[in-house]
Structure 1
Amino acid sequence: MSAPADTHQLVNVVALLGAAVVVIPIFRKLGLGSVLGYLAAGLVIGPFGFGWFNDPQSILHVAELGVVMFLFVIGLEMRPSHLWSLRREIFGLGTLQIAVCAAGLTLLGMYVLGLRAPVAFIGAAGFVLTSTAVVMQLLSERGDLTLPSGQKIVSILLFEDLLIVPLLAIVALMAPAGMEVSPAERWKAIAIGAGCIIGLLAAGRWLLNPLFRILAQAGAREVMTAAALLVVLGAALLMQLGGLSMAMGAFLAGVLLSESTFRHQIEADIEPFRGILLGLFFLGVGMALDVSVVLQDWRFIAMGVLTLMVGKAVCIYVVARLTGSDHHQAIDRGVLMAQGGEFAFVLFGAAAAVGVIEARVNASLTAIVVLSMALTPLFVLLQRRLTPAAKPSLEGIEAVSGQSASVLVIGFGRFGQVASQSLLARDVDVTIIDNDIEMIRSAEEFGFKIYYGDGTRLDVLRASGAGTARAIAVCTDRKEATDRIVELVRDEFPQARLLVRSYDREHSLGLIHAGVDFQIRETFESAVQFGSAALIELGVDEDEAATIAEEIRKRDAERFELEMAGGNLMAGAKMVFGNQPGVPRPTPFTPPKRRSRTLNPEEVPADTVDDDAG
């Protein structure tokens, strides 16, 4: 007895989800990334693996919405002013990279792969269109999307999305006799595309914000989610009807909503759908790899993957260097964008439909693109492991040398900035060092003089004036770095009073054992003050809130002393809790009338869950 059709469809859904749930954690644990995991899972469950799916194209058509939603979310982060500031990268850098890569890959196709000129051009044009899905996902996983180097890559990808329209027009012009598109039809297609863009811009300008305002007033959360999906899919559909890129339509819709007061709500509603559908897209790409074609024409495909990926990476590297990127950024961009993309499938299909390329060549070129997408995460991983990390440029930044201030402050993050204000306000002679280049440059914009230096190195501490400093304030935010600095200062610079920012209670205990003169948990006092303010906002009397806060400090001090009782502490070491320079044994506390009872020391939570981690 055969299973009903709806049951079979449910089995397919379970298979897709199961493949993702099983494979992705394994690949991420191995450091291979989720993209490669999705592609491998798709190959395993596809028609050329276990054969659970026989029509990967149908999955790809649905899963392309993942790419669409990804571009919509990127658009939400791109305010029109920011997008305008990227115009040189989008149209200047994008045009230069596309032109150089297209010319270079066409020549490689003709003279290395032996393709006819029209076929070589189509293959090169398709391979030039980088996979937006693969690159965006890798950039997102690395956290590089908002960096200047990431923004340049995003700009180039946006230009490539625009390029699919003229490339399809060129394919139509290359059609053999009898299959050409008439000039009237061509101008009609251009007019329809322009009309769709104008219509989308008008809707975004005058309709979207009022629509979401009305829905927000209705208070129906599910309707807001439906409206967000409607905007994304509607914009994508409008662009598709105009013969344009669905992803570009979604991106424009996101840009139009980027300054809306509902932007964060819309992004939160779209995010779950985006992640699932984008994963489904990579699964579909893995399924689409026709293993039989690869086996039949493996020499040409292997040569094509190697030639086109290396050729494109070299062209991108040359363009990057010519436009001012350093060696490391140029290599990173070349390897990251060395693959073909999803738009190549559309271009190859259109070329095959009008007879520019044969069906067999279409299948081989498609296999080359899919393999390049699958290999990119591996090549990126190898590149990042084999290429040494770029050293930050110290141009315009003074390295610390020959300082002799009364106080040395190590670390100028959020904590160090606030801590140093009291010293500077009293005109204390202070030397401040940090090893974060961007932090130093930002601080200089506000008039602070920060020297570049790594406080965990003894030679840097000497150059910073630690040998003559009366006090050394360690304001770093990493426990390992803090402990290393404390060890060096205690051994080499005993004349300096040592004040240290600690991470949590356990870290404070270790610092006291190390003999520091002053330590304070980085968020304990602010959390106590926060709780006191919350009581006041709830109507509790200010004196009573202050009394409760003081009790919390004393109970915390009591627990701290109990934990120290078993260790050998250096005599005279100060314990600091909040803003108390030294806390005696707590005196009996009379609870205020609003409270039902006080806490016993044993009831104070332990630092298994940090009381002040944040």
Structure 2
Amino acid sequence: MEASTPLFLEILILLGGGIVAATLFKWIGLGTVLGYLAAGIVMGPVLRLVLDGEEILHVGELGVVFLLFIIGLELKAGRLWALRRQIFGVGLAQVLVTGAVLGAAAYAFEQDWHAAIVIGFGLALSSTAFGLQLLEEAGETNTRHGETGFSVLLFQDLAVVPLLALLPFLAPFAQDTGFDPVQVAISIGAVVALVLVGRYCLNPLFRIVATSGAREVMLGAALLVVLGSALLMAAAGFSMAMGAFIAGVLLAESTYRHELEANIEPFRGLLLGLFFIGVGLSLDLAGIAQYWLAILVATPLLMIVKAVLLYWLGRGFGETHATAARVSTLLAQAGEFGFVLFSAAAAIGIFSIETASLLIAIVTLSMALTPLATYFGRLATRGSEAETLDEDFDGAGSEVLMIGFSRFGQIVAQVMLSSGIDVTILDSSAERIRNATRFGFRIYFGSGMRKEVLEAAGIRKARLVAVCTNKRETTDRIVDLIRSEFPNVSLYVRSYDRAHALSLRARGVDFEIRETVESALVFGGETLTGLGIDDALAERIVEDVRARDIERLKLQEVEGLYAGNDMVTTRPVTPEPLVKPRQTAQAVERPAGDDEPRDPATDGASSRRRRPGRPFSLKRLAAYKTRSG
């Protein structure tokens, strides 16, 4: 027990430092990644509370493995195939072009061509851990730039294998650099074995485990699959993260996908945080101090060159300015694979240990600057074209389909969800979807003005469609499409004003309501109460206004927008039953309002005559009661 005390103390320091730093940096808006890095630097090189940063970094790499597994669970084979242009287009071009440019720069600084190749392609790779964590933290994994960034990182993971295989050929005194057919056969066989096991064995395995009813057994099975596939790929010469990713893709169609994700997620978050702390712990401040000028010049220069090249490559493959800019700043850093590649190259004599230490310091510092680079990427694209998400409708289809999730739709959804009614929500705002997803809403990206999107969102399963969009033109197009293509569904619609409400009724919607009517009635009632009117009286007057408004709307359906003008209240009324006031209030014209400017009959451009036999309005009655005490 005494021997294990230092280990427990170290774990306690890591947990405490990580929690404090991550919470503080998240609170001030810098993100948890930078917080973990800062915690590692303070606990390691600065205070020297934790010294074995390399070991912690290796353990933390499991966080990257778990992260890739979870991403694989979200990527079905069909969706992965849809990304082939980004993976083998932008990804391949980025590795080749950036590697060649950086290699040429290293050769220009008096490195021989063997070392220049390793340096160039090693620095061309970016950090999977940093890139994906920042995307996930910002809720941007399914955005266009998120998918493109992931595709580039995925190809870079694939490039790990040939780069490792290339090292023996570049070693100056290598004895055996020939082609090894056995190793190639092992690599291909491992991939085939993993695919076959994932296709035919994993689902039956989880089905058997699930029958036990023991959550810890299911958790153990999930860890077994992730770590087993990772180690199999590592033995075959691939990265562990690639093996976990393949396993995740193979389980993406599984009915146990959500259970697996829930089991792995806590380990992923904890270990990935440990990885970032390990990067901070491994920072060689002495080496940086020795070569501080070279590092301070080389690191930002490296990030600028990578960002510029990736931006233009993205534009060349058809990406927009916003997508290319966000991806280029997200992946401008060097990656964790550089730690392995440069150390291995130094061990077999491709370049010196001092050169390897300098390169590792540049890699580490570039990773630490990644959150700052992504911030500049957001600034560069602020106000550019609207952000889009991938249209993924996995799991869509319920009793109610809601289109539009702005302020109005959010309140409507609360009512339905509180009553236990399942709702599928469709919206075209990426920012709104990210915010709603954090609160647990099942919301999908897509336009309700497209038939294929409505079908993918499950409109044929829905009993009712609630159109809660906030623009009249958008609402009209959605209503026309649904009435034309899906005439049997019940259609409840948010209308803009009285004229819009009448046009929607003409289109045959089952229910419509103007977006300001009920809130204005409640507001008016509360105003009366604040003026001293009795609650019951105020309620009756509000109900009277509501009833006359409905009656007038029905009349306008038949006779047109200007029908029922004499029903508009412009003089004092008394709803029945009501005690007659002690004196008659003089009628005063009501000032023009601005609630519904499109309707001159209701918006008070001029006073209206009182309808014979109708009581006086509450407003004047309230004024009278206030004056008379």
Q: Distance in 2 between matches of 1:575 and 1:105?
A: 75
C-alpha deviation, 1:88, in angstroms: 2.3
Given the superposition, is the C-alpha separation of residues 441 and 352 from structure 1 closer, same or farther in structure 2, using an over 3 Å criterion?
A: same
2:339 aligned with 1:345, yes or no?
yes
What's the counterpart of residue 451 of structure 2?
A: 445
Q: What is the match of residue 132 of structure 2? A: 136
Aligned to 2:499: 469
Paired residues for 1:444-523 under 5 Å: 444-445=450-451, 469=499, 471=501, 499-500=514-515, 512-513=522-523
**One of 277, 287, 292 as aligned partner of 1:283:** 277
User: Is 1:261 the counterpart of 2:255 in the alignment?
Assistant: yes
1:298 pairs, out of 285, 289, 292, with 292
- Give the Cα–Cα distance (whole angstroms) in 2 for the partners of residues 4 and 564 of structure 1: 76
**Partners of 1:393 and 1:272 in 2: how far apart?**
30
| CA spacing shift, 1:385–1:318, aligned 2, 3 Å | closer
C-alpha separation in 1, matches of 2:221 and 2:453: 47
Counterpart-to-counterpart distance in 1, 2:380 and 2:540? 47
User: Does the C-alpha gap of structure 1 residues 452 and 321 become closer, same or farther in structure 2, counting only changes over 3 Å?
Assistant: farther
Q: Does 1:190 align with 2:184?
A: yes
Does the CA contact (< 8 Å) of 1:239 and 1:246 recur in 2?
yes
- 1:212-262 superposed Cα distances (whole Å, 9 cap, x missing partner): 111111212111100000001111111111221000000011111111111
Say if 2:99 and 2:122, in contact at 8 Å, map to a contact too: no
> What runs of 5+ residues in structure 1 fail to find an aligned partner?
395-410, 420-433, 457-464, 475-496, 503-507, 517-560, 586-614
Say if 1:16 and 1:499 are closer, same or farther in 2 by CA, change over 3 A. same
Cα 1:567/1:135, change in 2 over 3 Å: farther
* Equivalent position to 1:181, from 176, 190, 193: 176
Aligned to 1:408: none
2:5 matched to which residue of 1?
7
d(CA) in 1 for partners of 2:534, 2:201: 64
Q: Which of 293-302 and 566-575 deviates more?
A: 566-575
Choose which of 46, 53, 58 in structure 1 pairs with 2:55: 58
1:239 aligns with 2:233: yes
Q: Residues 120 and 12 (structure 1 numbering): CA distance in 2 closer, same or farther, change over 3 Å? A: same
Which amino acid in structure 2 is aligned with residue 187 of structure 1? P
Shift of 1:153: 1.4
Give, in whole Å, the separation in 1 of the partners of 2:269 and 2:311. Answer: 31
Would you say the 8 A contact 1:440–1:451 is kept in 2? Answer: no
Shift of 1:99: 1.2
CA deviation map 1:174-224 (0-9, x unaligned): 0012x243425x333222222221221121122211111111112121111
* Cα displacement string for residues 388-420 of structure 1 (whole angstroms, at most 9, x for unaligned residues): 2323399xxxxxxxxxxxxxxxx8459779x9x
**CA RMSD of superposed structures (Å):** 3.8
Could you tell me which amino acid in structure 2 is paired with residue 56 of structure 1?
G
> 1:470: Cα distance to partner?
5.9
TM-score (norm 2): 0.67
* Equivalent residue in structure 1 for 2:360, among 366, 370, 375: 366
What is the alpha-carbon distance in structure 1 between the residues aligned to residue 107 and residue 242 of structure 2? Answer: 32
Q: Which of 156, 163, 170 is matched with 2:159 structurally?
A: 163
What's the counterpart of residue 41 of structure 1?
39
Cα drift, residue 341 of structure 1: 0.7
Q: Which residue of the partner structure matches residue 20 of structure 1?
A: 18
Secondary structure of the 2:46 match is coil
Change over 3 Å in CA distance of 1:391–1:219 after alignment to 2:
same
The residue type equivalent to 1:513 in the other structure is F
Q: Please state how far the C-alpha of 1:266 moved relative to its aligned partner.
A: 0.9
In structure 2, distance between residues paired with 1:301 and 1:101: 19
> Aligned residue pairs: how many?
463
Correspondence 1:151 to 2:157? no
Give the CA deviation at 1:117.
Answer: 3.2
Which aligned pairs between 1:407-418 and structure 2 lie closer than 5 A? Answer: 412-413=404-405
1:126 counterpart letter in structure 2: G
Contact 2:230 2:240 in 1 (8 A): yes
Q: Deviations over 1:70-124 (max 9, x none)?
A: 000001111112222222221222111111111122223333x554433332222
What is the CA–CA distance in structure 2 between the aligned matches of 1:453 and 1:324, rounded to whole Å? 32
- How far apart, CA to CA, are the structure 1 residues paired with 2:503 and 2:327? 40
Residues 39 and 575 (structure 1), Cα distance of their counterparts in 2 relative to 1, 3 Å cut: farther
DSSP 3-state at the match of 2:252 = coil
Aligned to 2:303: 309
String of CA shifts for 1:39-80, please: whole Å, max 9, x gaps: 11011111x121112111111111110000000000111111
- C-alpha distance in structure 1 between counterparts of 2:206 and 2:428, whole Å: 45
**1:435, 1:452 within 8 Å by CA — same for their partners in 2?**
no
Counterpart residue number, 1:357: 351
Structure 1 contact 104–315 (Cα < 8 Å) conserved:
no
Once residues 110 and 125 of structure 2 are traced to their aligned partners in structure 1, the CA distance between those partners, rounded to angstroms, is: 21
Post-superposition offset of 1:20: 1.3
Residue-by-residue CA offset, 1:443-497 (whole Å, 9 max, x unaligned): 232699x9998689xxxxxxxx9798264899xxxxxxxxxxxxxxxxxxxxxx9
Question: Relative to structure 1, is the Cα distance of residues 84 and 509 closer, same or farther in structure 2, using a 3 angstrom cutoff?
Answer: closer
Cα displacement (A) at 1:571: 8.5
2:120 match:
124
CA 225–468 in structure 1, closer or farther in 2 if over 3 Å, else same? closer
Task: Report deviation, 1:568.
Answer: 13
- State the partner residue of 1:521: none
Cα distance in 2 between the residues matched to 1:136 and 1:84: 20
The 2-side partners of 1:274 and 1:244 are apart by 20
Contact map agreement 1:435 1:453 (CA 8 A) in 2: no
Q: Taking structure 1 as reference, are residues 120 and 515 closer, same or farther at Cα in structure 2, changes over 3 Å only?
A: farther
| 1:318 CA drift (Å) | 0.7
Change (3 A) 1:162 1:575: farther
Query: Aligned partner of 1:256: which letter?
Result: L
The separation in 2 between residues aligned to 1:288 and 1:62, in whole angstroms, is 13
Aligned partner of 2:105 among 94, 105, 108 = 108
Q: Conserved in 2, the CA contact under 8 Å of 1:313 and 1:334?
A: yes
C-alpha displacement at 1:442, in angstroms?
3.8
- CA distance in structure 2 between the partners assigned to 1:564 and 1:175 by the alignment: 92
8 Å CA contact retained: 1:108, 1:307:
no
Change (3 A) 1:467 1:31: closer
Q: Is the 8 A contact 1:228 1:266 kept in 2?
A: yes
> 1:334-360 deviations in whole A, cap 9, x for unaligned?
100000111111111111111101100
- Give yes or no for contact 1:175–1:355 (8 Å, CA) kept in 2: yes
The Cα of 1:566 is off from its aligned counterpart by 9.3
Which residue is 2:322 aligned to? 328
**Following the alignment from structure 2 to structure 1, what is the Cα–Cα distance between the partners of residues 155 and 54?**
26
Q: Which amino acid aligns with 1:88?
A: R
Is the partner of 1:183 in helix, strand or coil?
coil
Amino acid across the alignment from 1:368: I
Question: What is the distance in 2 between the residues matched to 1:446 and 1:19?
Answer: 50
- Give the TM-score, by structure 1 length: 0.68
1:67 aligns to 2:70 (yes or no): no
Write the distance in 1 (CA, Å) between the matches of 2:83 and 2:373.
28
Structure 1 window deviating more from structure 2 (307-316 vs 194-203): it is: 194-203
Alignment of 1:69-84 (within 5 A): 69-84=66-81
Q: Given residue 38 of structure 1, which amino acid in structure 2 is its aligned partner?
A: Y
| Kept after mapping to 1: 8 A contact 2:126/2:331 | yes
Change (3 A) 1:217 1:571: closer
Whole-angstrom distance in 2 between the partners of 1:284 and 1:439: 37
